[in-house]
Each structure stands twice: as C-alpha cells, then as structure tokens.
Structure 1
Amino acid sequence: MRYLWIWILYVLWLPLNVLNGQTYVLRSDFEKVLKARDADASLDDSLKVFRLSELYSAYIDGEELAVYNYYKNKSVIRLGYIWNTTTNNHWIQLALGENEEKVLELILNQENGMAPHRTKVEGLKGSSVSFVGNKLRLSVKGGMAQRGMIVVDGNESEPLFIFVDAPQTVSASDSAVVLDGYHKGTYKVPPSVNRISIPLGAYYRGNIISDHDIQVDGLGIISQEGIKHSGYEKNEDNPFKCNVAVRGNDTRMKITGVTSIEPAMYHFWVWPGNGTVYEGVKAFSFLYETDAYIGSQILDCFSKVNDDHVKLYISDIKVERLSTYLQGNGHTFQFGWGNYGSRKNIRVKDITVFRDLNNQKECKYVRSFINWRKPDVPNVIEDVCFENIRFYAPVRSFCVMDNDGKSWLSTPEVRNFVIKNVRLPQKPYCLMKIENPSFHVQVEDFLIDGVSLTNENVSDYISNKSLNNFIVK
C-alpha cells in the first residue's frame, strides 16, 4: 500500500502536460529545467553548449515559448576547420494535431528588428508569413511532420528551425520509464523495461544503452553535453559514446520524436540496423564522427550533423521526408568506406537540403550528397532509387564514388541505380564522378539552375573520366 501511495503522489506531481500532451514549451518552464542543469556540479561551465536562445523570442497566444539554442563553444570545438564550417542552432518544437493551426510571433532581439526583404522561410508547407512592425507572424499547421528553417534578416550563421510533430502522450508503467524534467547519467535499460519516454520540455543529459529491443519516444531532448568527444577505439564499449544505443547484432530500436544533440560520438548506435526505425527524430552536432542514422527506416527526420547523415549499409532501406543541413565534414548518404557487403532495394524519397557548408571550391577530398568511398571489394549495390530531392542552396558535389585515385584491384558493381527529380539552385563547385567502369547510374529530370541535365551538356557537370558511367534521360 505504501508503494501505491508513492506512485499516486508521483503521478499527481507530474505536470498534466507530460501525461496528456502539450502544444509547446513555455520559456518559464524550461528555465526551471536549465536551473536544475546548472546546479549539476558534474557539468563544468566551460563545456556547456545548450541554453535558451538569447537572439530570438517567440510567442503563441501571448505566451513566450522556449527557443532552444545549441551553440558553438571554443572550449569544445578546438579545430578551426570545424569552427568555420558550422553554425549555431536555434529551434522551436511544436506538437500540433490534425487541423490544428497556431500563429507564431517571432522577434529578433536586436535594436533594429527584422528586415522583411532579408528574411527567408524555407521548408514549411501551407504556412503564411507576414510582418507587423518588428515581428514576424508565421502560421503553422498540424497534420503532418514539418521541418522548416528561417533565416532572419540575412543572418545565415544563426538559423532558426521550426519542428512540428503530432502530440505524444506518455506515461510510466512497469515496462515504461518517463524521464521528465532534468535527468543525467547513463541509463542502462533493465530487462523489464522496453520503452523510455523523454517528453516535450524534458532534457536528459546522458545516454541510453540497452541489450534488448527498445523504443525511445517523446519530443524532449537527449544530449551528452559535457562528455569528452573521441573516436571509437578497440576494446572500448562503443555504445557509451552514443546518445541512444543497443548492444548485440540484430538488436533493434524504434526512436520517435526526440531531439538528439552533442553526442560523444554517433547519435545512435545499432548494428547492422535491420528493423531499426527512426520517425520524427532530430539530430544536431558539431564535432567529427557524429553520424546520425543507421537502420531500415528513416521517416520525417532532420539532420544537421558533422559527419554522415544516413549510412546505407544494409539492404531494404526506406528514407522518406528527410531534411538535412550539411556541415564541413561527411556526406548526406554514405554507402560506406570499404567493405560493407552487397546491398539492394534502397529507396530514398522527398529529401530537403537546406544548406551545404561543404561548398568550398577545393575538390581533392570531395564531400558529397551521395558517396561511396574506397569501395574496392567485389560487392554489388543495386536496385536503388533517389527521388524528389530539393536543394535550397548550392552543394559542393552531388555524387562521388571513388577509390581515392588508386587503381582498382577488384570488381565492385553499381547497377539499377536511378536518381530522378532533382532541383539544384546552381552548378555544384565540384564535378560528379564515378571512377569505375562497372558503376552505372541513370539520371532523370535533373535540373541545375533551371537547366535540365542532358547528353549534350552532361560534360559540364560530370568528370570526363566518369561520363560513360552516367545514363542521362
């Protein structure tokens, strides 16, 4: 009976919006979460990278929202190349139901307000935008996952992201754990638990590791803020460096809604990824080797990481409605470095690329949208389709499959590989290249600055050594 009363008191203590879902997080509520974080003696101030935004204020129905800010910190980012090819991040998380619409008012916390002609809203469907004085009024609709980016007053170094998802209701039980408010540490999932929820407005500073199949959901934030970043070395427990990870081959995850920031290495770890699903997940990171997704399905997700965004290492992958922002390192879709075996039946559809900070003109080590590096093993990649890809900004290179200029020792193959309905605003800085006679890619409806890629102009966009590898239709 005593334990029953403890459970009842715990449920009554939880905010109603945790159990019943809520539309947004108030700034005043999240200030309490950060106050608990700041009282945590285990986090040195010099390693903090997460706070409420000081640049943007946002309101709905007169209430001030929490605008999150994952920011660059020179105490953490010590390499000039990374510092120069990353931007700060501000975002708002909304949870809107079918037919629900909210008007979001944004204020730039600077003396002169906002210039309408220098403010861009990208990626939001069915949204109307207007200016009233120094306020931007943005209508946002529910009913579908939305990933939008606003560049306010031409400030490309401080993008503001708007994430819209369906409301999620979470509750604790014998097999489900709710990590509301502020928590820290490594949560090793016990065998009796198969669901972990981080609700909207919660901040979990740590990681989650399981030896069995798990589901992680909610619209809250998980981070390894303050944990030393380093690459994986032999005899280390790799999952400890990831925000959410499962041990063992063929162990699966389903991750829904959460925002993952500042991993010590990868955002998520599962191997080889068969059956793992990500839905409505958002990933932010600055440092090297902070890859995002590996699994069978990546749906309605967002990625702004500083390495590979999606690893296409297995067969039967579906990626749909992914929004990305490329940074200084890595590729959006990576087929691998070397031997990851033969693969087939890979479908990538409805991709939005907001920015590509890889667009320096140096092309020796090309970071690209689609990549297969050093694939000098006798594997076959086949039955692949990339479809409906929209870029809002130029890219360094669209597709590169090379062996670093070395001679080929084996006979890997690429076949039945189709790329269609691509929109690029201008010519990539570096030519596309596929430096193997056994690699063949068919390109359809590929527009660059409004000009269709054809057999007549293909040499303007593809390396001379690779012309015979592309079939243009």
Structure 2
Amino acid sequence: MKALLVVILCFISYDCFAKLVTYEPTSNMVGNNKYIHPSAEYKVELIQNGKTYPLFVYSMNALHYTNNSKTTAWVNFSFDAPVTIRVYNYTSHHNPAQVLPRSASIKTIQKNSIIEFVISKPGQYSVEYQTGIRIEHPLLIFANPLEKNIPNAADTSIIYFGPGFHSIGEKFIIPEGKKVYIHGGAYIKGQLYAENINDIEIFGRGIISGEDYAARTADHMINLKNASNVKIEGITMIHAPRFMITLSGKKHHIDNVKMMGWWFSTDGISAGEETLIENCFFKVNDDAVKLYQNKTETKNCVIWQMENGAPFQMGWNGTNDYSNCYVHDIEVIRVEHEWDNENEAVICAIHGGKGHKTKFLFENIRIDNSTWRIFHLVTKPNRWGQWNTERGSMSDMLFRNIEMYGGQKIPSLIMGHDAKHPVYNMRFENIIINGKKTKGDLGNFIIDKETTWGISFE
C-alpha cells in the first residue's frame, strides 16, 4: 500500500512540475476555416531533455490591401526551462535568419533552410528571413510561462472553454461572479462583453477571433464597461474588427496577451486608470496602447506597429486632465510607417481636447526596423477631439534612454497650436538615433519656438 502511494505521489509531482506544455488544435478549429489554417511556410519543433515535440503552426492571411505581411504564422507553448526551437523554412526567402527583439541577443544555428536557437525565458519573438520594414511571411514565437491555477472544467464559477471550436456570438455577456478560462487548445469565435460588474478574469492560453465581424463598425473584441479590477492573462487575440481590448473603470491588469489584427481601427488596448499592461505582444494596424487615463503603466511589451497608428498614443482628445503615465522597457521591433499622417510616430499626441496632459515618463525603449519619426507631440484641432479655444496643453514629460537603430525620414515634431494651447517642459535624455545622441538638431527635430518652451536635450 505504501509503495502504491509513493508511485501516485511521484506521478502528481511530475505533472505539477512540467517543464513544457504544447497545445494541439482539434480538426474542427482549422479544417475548413478560411481565416486560420496550418502554415504552409513553416514547420516548428521544440527540443528539451533530448525529446522532440512538434508544434502546430497557425497561419492567417492578410485582410487589408495595404498590409505588408501577406501571412502571419505563430506557435504557442508554455515552459519554465530552456528549450531549443527548430524552424523549417519553406518560403522562397532563404536568407540568414534573425530573431527579434534584437536585445534578446539570440544566436541562430542555420543549415540550409533549418535554423535552431535556444530561449530560456518567456517572451514573444519574431523569426524573420527578410530585412527592412516589409516582411511578407513572419513567424512569431509565443513562449508563455507555465499556467498557474488551471481551473477544473466542472467548477461552476468558471466559464470553461475547453479544447475545440466555440462560436459564442457578437456579444457574449460575462455574468457577474464568473471567470472565463480559455484552454490552450480552444478557438473561440466571438466577442466578450460585460457592464457594471467588477472582478472579471479572462485567462488561459487559447485563441479568440473576431473574424466574422465587419471591420471598423462591429464592437470591440473584449469590451468591459465600468468594470474595475479586471484581469486578462495569457490569451491570443486575432482578426479584431476594432479594438482588441477596451476597458473602462479602473485598476486593471493585462498580462501576456498576444494581439494580431489587420484593419485600420484595430487598436490594441485602451483601459481605465491605474492599469498595468505588461508582457504583451501587439501586431496591430492602429494605436497599440492608448495612454488616455491616469496612472497607466506599460512595461516589457513587444510591439510590431503596422502601417497605421502609433505604438503609444497620448492624443487625439481628452476633455479631462490626466497624468502620471509610465512606459518603460519596451521593444518596438518594427514600424511600417510610410505615409505622412499625423498619427505616424512611435510616441504620439495630437491633442485636440481641453484637458492638460502632464507628468509622463518614457524610458528604456528600443526601436528597430523603422524609418519614420519617433515623436509627434502637438496640440491642434482634429476630428476626434472637442476643441476648446481657451484650454488644452501638454507639459512636464521626460523621455529617457530611447534608441532608434535606424534614421528618421521625417523629423520629430514638437508644436503647440497657439499660445493658449502650448507644449512645454519636455525633457529628452540620451536619445540615440542611428547610433548618435541627438541634441534636438534640426535634422532630427522640428520645434516651434512660438508655442513651446522648456524643451531640453541632455
């Protein structure tokens, strides 16, 4: 009897301390789905402790004619010990591979069309066989931490989406007191909604898709109104017709969410005050993070900004004063900007409201594969704001330790609309553009001296 007990305990212990978890989709998820399918460009395997584990490689086709990527492929797994990733490349591009972010310093071993590399910590990585801002067939690696507190499917406090396909409709309402779990093998088609309830949790390793809904007119993918203490963790979101996540209320936490969309108006995250956004991945075609509320912190995120929008947007509007936003330790791995639109910058504000934006700190940001501008900080009337002739300004912001590996084709712009709508007390420290520290020289910055003051470079 004692021997049997020991065997049972050892089995449970091994299961609890798993080093690698993979997720296999069921046939009804991708068999006849025109929006998501097995990749024709890549095969991926994981190698750990002498064993090889094949991964399902998801792929989806571009949906808008302006999109530079014709497909986007990705793999998804969870782990807590070093793992070797082996990639078989079936595309027509057989150049030496690079793995981004650059700061991860990942070295690849390449033999013909096969590469191997090792990762030792969770993160989001892009495997690329092309250079420049136009990458046609990227492969994304979503390497998650192991899940904690995986619920039981029989738990009545949980809305449990298990492996397989689930169609939940355009406005699936989350009941009060319920948590939503999306298994790593689950594929949900639909949108999640709640209003006037708190303590909502949405978590797991599965996929939620907005593929059936009209771009720019349908509702947002996760839309939680007046809902405080929201936690969203681990899931992958694709094909959003509008925002991926929009939350009102306050005290939200969004962690390790992967977002991929195609349309203009496919923004990433807009959340309430006192929100923490961390460890997320954005490949979106409008603003990735909306900094529209007090005490928003964004850290340790990886951003692939598509042809429209800004990685960090502080404008277009804002009738209320807000402050104390902190953005740090960010990897902007690609910026596909090519048009001279006013929202085309890495850090952007087109402030057309009467509010005063102040006390923002941006630091430790790296910008790769970008040829456009870093900053566009202006006050001006625009179609999204409610212009006030007497008020509307920005002040007391610090931008520190920001490096752009390439050069700017368009200089950064700092400008107020007039004397009543100034931009002032902006400090730039250790801003490196194409290997050189900038002092605000004309080639890199245009600063309107009539409507700004206290603009300093150190």
TM-score, scaled to structure 1: 0.81
**For the structure 1 residues 461 and 126, does the alpha-carbon distance in structure 2 shift closer, same or farther, using more than 3 Å as the test?**
closer
Task: Encode CA deviations 1:319-373: one digit per residue, 9 max, x unaligned.
Answer: 0011111112111111232234111111100111111111x2x435351111222
1:262 aligns with 2:239: yes
Larger deviation, residues 363-372 vs 348-357 = 363-372
Checking the alignment, whether the CA contact within 8 Å between 2:358 and 2:394 is kept in structure 1 is: yes
Checking the alignment, whether the CA contact within 8 Å between 1:113 and 1:135 is kept in structure 2 is: no
Q: Distance in 1 between matches of 2:142 and 2:362?
A: 24
Match of 2:5 in 1: none
Match of 1:242 in 2: 220
Match of 1:317 in 2: 296
Q: Post-superposition shift, 1:19? A: 10
**For the structure 1 residues 152 and 384, does the alpha-carbon distance in structure 2 shift closer, same or farther, using more than 3 Å as the test?**
same
Q: Distance in 2 between matches of 1:280 and 1:464?
A: 37
Counterpart of 1:431 (choices 375, 389, 411) is 411
Q: Which amino acid aligns with 2:185?
A: G
Checking the alignment, whether the CA contact within 8 Å between 2:342 and 2:376 is kept in structure 1 is: no
Match of 1:196, SS state, is: strand
Match of 2:11 in 1: none
Match of 1:30 in 2: 25
Match of 1:196 in 2: 180
Task: Encode CA deviations 1:447-472: one digit per residue, 9 max, x unaligned.
Answer: 111111125xx221111525856310
1:422 aligns with 2:419: no
Q: Post-superposition shift, 1:178? A: 1.7
Match of 1:170 in 2: 151
1:137 aligns with 2:116: yes
Checking the alignment, whether the CA contact within 8 Å between 2:312 and 2:346 is kept in structure 1 is: yes
Q: Which amino acid aligns with 1:471?
A: S
Q: Post-superposition shift, 1:88? A: 2.5
Match of 2:210 in 1: 224
Q: Post-superposition shift, 1:200? A: 1.5
Q: Distance in 2 between matches of 1:131 and 1:31?
A: 32
Q: Post-superposition shift, 1:151? A: 0.7
Task: Encode CA deviations 1:166-224: one digit per residue, 9 max, x unaligned.
Answer: 1113333121122122111133222341x111121221111222232310001111111
Q: Which amino acid aligns with 1:106?
A: V
Match of 1:255, SS state, is: strand
Checking the alignment, whether the CA contact within 8 Å between 2:244 and 2:269 is kept in structure 1 is: yes
Q: Distance in 2 between matches of 1:339 and 1:18?
A: 50
Q: Distance in 2 between matches of 1:109 and 1:305?
A: 25
Q: Distance in 2 between matches of 1:113 and 1:157?
A: 10
1:53 aligns with 2:39: yes
**For the structure 1 residues 51 and 432, does the alpha-carbon distance in structure 2 shift closer, same or farther, using more than 3 Å as the test?**
same
Q: Distance in 1 between matches of 2:15 and 2:176?
A: 25
Counterpart of 1:93 (choices 73, 76, 90) is 76
**For the structure 1 residues 18 and 335, does the alpha-carbon distance in structure 2 shift closer, same or farther, using more than 3 Å as the test?**
farther
Q: Which has the higher helix share?
A: 1
Q: Distance in 2 between matches of 1:264 and 1:21?
A: 37
Task: Encode CA deviations 1:116-175: one digit per residue, 9 max, x unaligned.
Answer: 3xx111127364421244310111213xx3121111255821111112221113333121
Checking the alignment, whether the CA contact within 8 Å between 2:184 and 2:206 is kept in structure 1 is: yes
1:294 aligns with 2:270: yes
**For the structure 1 residues 18 and 207, does the alpha-carbon distance in structure 2 shift closer, same or farther, using more than 3 Å as the test?**
farther
Checking the alignment, whether the CA contact within 8 Å between 1:95 and 1:164 is kept in structure 2 is: yes
Checking the alignment, whether the CA contact within 8 Å between 1:18 and 1:200 is kept in structure 2 is: no
Q: Distance in 1 between matches of 2:234 and 2:175?
A: 22
1:451 aligns with 2:430: no
Q: Which amino acid aligns with 1:323?
A: V
Q: Distance in 2 between matches of 1:413 and 1:424?
A: 27
1:180 aligns with 2:158: no
Matches within 5 A, 1:7-18: none
Let me know the Cα RMSD of the aligned residues. 2.7
Q: Which amino acid aligns with 1:414?
A: M
Match of 1:125 in 2: 104
**For the structure 1 residues 313 and 101, does the alpha-carbon distance in structure 2 shift closer, same or farther, using more than 3 Å as the test?**
same
Q: Distance in 1 between matches of 2:236 and 2:18?
A: 17
Q: Distance in 1 between matches of 2:238 and 2:360?
A: 30
**For the structure 1 residues 366 and 307, does the alpha-carbon distance in structure 2 shift closer, same or farther, using more than 3 Å as the test?**
closer
Match of 1:381 in 2: 357
**For the structure 1 residues 21 and 242, does the alpha-carbon distance in structure 2 shift closer, same or farther, using more than 3 Å as the test?**
farther
Q: Post-superposition shift, 1:309? A: 0.7
Checking the alignment, whether the CA contact within 8 Å between 2:308 and 2:343 is kept in structure 1 is: no
1:333 aligns with 2:338: no
**For the structure 1 residues 292 and 34, does the alpha-carbon distance in structure 2 shift closer, same or farther, using more than 3 Å as the test?**
same
Counterpart of 2:336 (choices 337, 341, 357) is 357
**For the structure 1 residues 340 and 89, does the alpha-carbon distance in structure 2 shift closer, same or farther, using more than 3 Å as the test?**
farther
